Structure 1
């Protein structure tokens, strides 16, 4: 019973830290975190489901909190975290590390493109391309080196007792 409680506390703690990091990075970098041309630096954290299942609820909650401050209205506050959760699910299932950053790139490009088409009347295809470019910067240029660093130090960082 004590071991189960310890694992639960560890899971909740990991999820909370990830949520806080995601929200903080997005809110502090608000000028570049939303819009048609965006690089949401916090999206680099979307590689974390590759290492820990606690990242899924952490990213969901972090995105929800961030979107309250930076989102494109109520639709982004409610739907954006669900897209992030779906991307996290697929990220956790990726067969190799090279594909780990891909789900958030694809899902966010499609979702944000559609969202901004309907809410801001921006051209959908162009918006999808621009959002995908920003996601590639966040997920591959920043997130992939983070993945390699975490992989190198996995035992120290994600040690389970």
Structure 2
């Protein structure tokens, strides 16, 4: 890894970890808005430095998680897959809207993996809604989905587009 790429990875790691550690109340619960996940779509633009940095940042941030080794490993691996596969998808699927497709993929991946293990760790009970008993895992997924939509789709996707257009002279990993 070139020194410029290493420096970028370190910046991504620091930004991700700082964002989670600074906002623990909204980063570690069943209903969460992990603002640092807005960095995930930046893997489309920055490639491997973002993948490595966000993965390391997730590991560092999850050292502070109340959910212990499950969140430490589960969250780290989830973000590794979300950033790496997202970067590769963006390189291979070049069509109008492909970046949004990648951001939606990242959102759904985080939702289902993190929502599933948080359901097991927290034990969300089934809840009756309009006469129908909704399984607890659905509430767990919805809690993570809401926050992931905010961080990845509402903040991260436009951030990636803006960085690509205005701050990166040449998006060297995509197109």
CA distance in 1, matches of 2:49, 2:11: 10
CA distance in 2, matches of 1:47, 1:75: 24
Is 1:131–2:144 an aligned residue pair? Answer: yes
Q: Give the TM-score of the pair, scaled to structure 1.
A: 0.87
Partner of 1:121: 123
51-60 or 95-104, which deviates more: 95-104
Deviation of 1:156 after TM superposition, in Å, equals 4.0
Name the SS for the 1:70 alignment partner.
coil
Number of equivalenced pairs: 154
Gaps of 5+ in 2: 125-135
CA deviations 1:118-146 (Å, max 9, x no partner) are 21112211111221111000011111221
CA deviations 1:18-59 (Å, max 9, x no partner) are 000000011111111121111000000001110122111111
Q: Give the TM-score of the pair, scaled to structure 2.
A: 0.81
1:79 aligned residue (57, 74, 84): 74
Bigger Rg, structure 1 or 2: 2
Name the SS for the 1:36 alignment partner.
coil
Gaps of 5+ in 1: 1-6
Where does structure 1 differ by over 3 angstroms across 4 or more consecutive aligned residues? 154-159
Q: Which has the higher contact order (CA 8 A, sep 6+)?
A: 2
Contact 1:11/1:54 (8 A) holds in 2 = yes
Is 1:91–2:86 an aligned residue pair? Answer: yes
CA distance in 2, matches of 1:13, 1:29: 24
Deviation of 1:105 after TM superposition, in Å, equals 1.0
C-alpha RMSD of matched pairs (Å): 1.9
Deviation of 1:91 after TM superposition, in Å, equals 1.3
CA distance in 1, matches of 2:166, 2:65: 33
CA distance in 2, matches of 1:117, 1:36: 8
34-43 or 91-100, which deviates more: 91-100
